[in-house]
Amino acid sequence: MSGAANQSYAKGITFVLLATLGWSLSGLFVRLMPELSGWQLNTWRGYWTAVSIFIYLILVYGRDTMDVFRRVPLAALAFSAGFFAFGSTMYVTSLTLVSTAVISVIGASSPLFTGVLSPWVTGERPGIAAWIAALMAIGGVGIIANDELEVGNAIGMLVCLLVPLSFAAQTLVLRRYRSIDMIPAIAVGGLLSFVCAGMIGFLFHPGGGYAVELRHVAMLALMGLVQLAIPLIWYAKGAKSVPAITLSLVVMLDAVLNPFWPWLVVGETPEAAAFWGGGVIISAVLISIFGERWMKTAMR
């Protein structure tokens, strides 16, 4: 309990910002491995994420590592790991059904789901500033993705909607159980993702999600460590002192940062809409972080 109680709000926000920075590298890694399908990427990203987190836990806890796993309530372990694996699987599935623009816009609804559900799951009631920020975030992502938006089929839209729901649910679980170390549950989620994505991959090509060439192994291991494992550890730490809806909103910066890395590394120039939409999202995140305090100060 002391870890959650002693961590400041500012430190929690810093952890979430660092997590978002790491997650934003996904587009760059995908472009560096164009030969791999989404199933292959998620299968091995999940595997190396689990391995990296297991190593982290051993380094931190040593012989007490298994005790740390036992301290996580079974319900917390099942929900956190399950939502992680389910969300990753639904994301890859949605890529086969609708455009990435549709996925981005629907994915931006995660803070809305988090805000609606948080009073029942975590006991937190988001203020008006958080709701304004959530709507702004959706608008900002919509501006970025506007040129590519298309009407998707009903099944595709439904599958796509399950992605932000899963992320919102996992965020709420981390926040509800913030008094204990939930990182072991994330490691289990990585293993579940490895199994689920790998098996479903057999529907699309021989070898399923498991069949990758040796030359991709090092890059996949780096992706699992840098783009998922370390950010997930930071996100779980941030959840100890940051309200659930703010957690979800800060992560919306991913839509701003994701186009930046391919631009910097492989010269893929973002559209002008990325800058306009990015400005709206950054404003929304600032409102989510400081809005309630600004309003309280203004009302004095």
| Residue extents of the structural domains in the chain | 2-299
Tokens matching residue 120: 């029942």
126, 140, 234, 260, 286 from 291: Cα distances, Å: 11, 18, 23, 27, 7
Other CB atoms closer than 10 Å to residue 119's CB: what's the count? 12
Query: Rounded to an integer, what is the distance from CA 256 to the centroid of its chain?
Result: 14
What's the confidence (pLDDT) of residue 150? 61
What's the confidence (pLDDT) of residue 30? 84
Print pLDDT tens along the chain (300 aa). 445 557 899 999 999 999 999 998 888 888 889 899 989 999 999 999 999 999 999 999 999 999 999 999 999 999 999 999 999 999 888 877 877 667 777 888 899 999 999 999 999 999 888 899 999 988 888 887 776 666 556 787 788 889 999 999 999 999 999 999 999 999 999 999 999 999 999 988 889 999 999 999 999 999 999 999 999 999 999 999 999 999 999 998 888 887 777 777 766 676 777 778 888 888 988 888 887 666 666 555
Tokens matching residue 145: 């993705």
What's the confidence (pLDDT) of residue 156? 79
What's the confidence (pLDDT) of residue 141? 83
What's the confidence (pLDDT) of residue 257? 83
What's the confidence (pLDDT) of residue 298? 58
Q: Is 186 helix (H, G, I), strand (E, B) or coil?
A: helix
What's the confidence (pLDDT) of residue 199? 94
Q: Who's near 275: CB < 8 A, 6+ residues apart?
A: none
Tokens matching residue 238: 């941030």
Residue 136 and residue 245 in contact, taking contact as beta carbons nearer than 8 Å: no
pTM: 0.87
44, 87, 248, 285 from 111: Cα distances, Å: 28, 15, 5, 11
What's the confidence (pLDDT) of residue 198? 94
What's the confidence (pLDDT) of residue 297? 62
Query: Scanning the structure block, which residue is given the tokens 């809305």?
Result: 112
Tokens matching residue 296: 């309280």
What's the confidence (pLDDT) of residue 1? 44
Residue 234 and residue 18 in contact, taking contact as beta carbons nearer than 8 Å: yes
Residue 137 and residue 285 in contact, taking contact as beta carbons nearer than 8 Å: yes
Query: Rounded to an integer, what is the distance from CA 10 to the centroid of its chain?
Result: 20
In one letter, which amino acid is 254? D
What's the confidence (pLDDT) of residue 12? 95
250, 272, 283 from 17: Cα distances, Å: 7, 24, 15
Query: Scanning the structure block, which residue is given the tokens 């999940």?
Result: 46
